Amino acid sequence: MSKEASDRFPSFPPRRRFLQGMGAAAGSAMLGYGLPRSAWAESFSGDLVVSNWGGDWNANVVKALESPELEAKGMTIRRDLAGAPERKTKILAERALPRGTIDIANFTDADAYELQLQDALETLDYDKIPNARHLLPGMKTPYFIPFGLSGVVLIYNPDKIKTPPTSFADLMNPAYAGRVGLIDQIYYNYFFALGLLDGGGMSNVTPAFKQLLELKKAVNPRIYPSHQQTEAALASGEIWITANYLARAAQWRANGLPVRAAYPKEGAIAYQTGMCIPKKARNKQNAYRYLNAMLTPAVAQRMATLTYYAVPIDNAALPPEQAAAVEFTAAERQKLNHFDLEYTAKNQSAWLDWWNKNIKV
DSSP letters for 116-162: HHTT-BPPP-GGG-GGGGGBPTT---SS-EEEEEEEEEEEE-TTT--
Task: Tell me if 90 sits within 8 A of 102, measured CB to CB.
Answer: yes
Nearest to 70 by CA among 51, 37, 45: 45
How far apart CA 244 and CA 297 sit, in angstroms, is 26
Half-sphere exposure (CA, 13 Å, Cβ side) for 330?
0
pTM: 0.84
Whether 21 has a pLDDT exceeding 50, the answer reads no
Where do the H-state alpha helices sit in the chain? 3-6, 15-26, 28-32, 37-40, 55-61, 84-93, 109-117, 187-195, 206-219, 227-236, 246-254, 284-294, 297-307, 320-326, 330-334, 341-358
Burial of 217 from C-beta contacts in 10 A (0-12 / 13-18 / 19+):
exposed
Nearest to 90 by CA among 61, 124, 49, 57: 49
Fold of domain 46-149+273-314+321-327: D-Maltodextrin-Binding Protein; domain 2 (3.40.190)
Q: Where are the domains of the chain?
A: 46-149+273-314+321-327, 150-270+340-359
Whether 135 has a pLDDT exceeding 80, the answer reads yes
Task: Supply φ then ψ for residue 222, to 5 degrees.
Answer: -85, 135
Digit-coded pLDDT (tens) for 33-71: 344 434 444 667 789 999 999 999 999 999 999 999 999
How far apart CA 311 and CA 297 sit, in angstroms, is 9
pLDDT of 325: 85
**Residue 224: strand pairing partners:** 183
Nearest to 239 by CA among 215, 256, 259: 259
Whether 116 has a pLDDT exceeding 90, the answer reads yes
Nearest to 316 by CA among 76, 1, 64, 13: 64
Digit-coded pLDDT (tens) for 232-250: 999 999 999 999 999 999 9
Digit-coded pLDDT (tens) for 282-325: 999 999 999 999 999 999 999 999 999 999 999 999 999 889 88
**Residue 269: strand pairing partners:** 152, 337
Digit-coded pLDDT (tens) for 95-106: 999 999 999 999
What lies within 8 Å, CB to CB, of 214 at 6+ separation is: 172
How far apart CA 214 and CA 181 sit, in angstroms, is 15
Whether 167 has a pLDDT exceeding 70, the answer reads yes
Task: Supply φ then ψ for residue 182, to 5 degrees.
Answer: -120, 155
Question: Position 86: which residue type?
Answer: E
Digit-coded pLDDT (tens) for 251-283: 999 999 999 999 999 999 999 999 999 999 999
Domain 150-270+340-359 matching CATH 3.30.1230.10: the answer reads no
User: How many of the other CB atoms lie within 10 Å of CB of 193?
Assistant: 28
pLDDT of 42: 61
Please determine whether the domains at 46-149+273-314+321-327 and 150-270+340-359 fall in the same fold group of CATH: yes
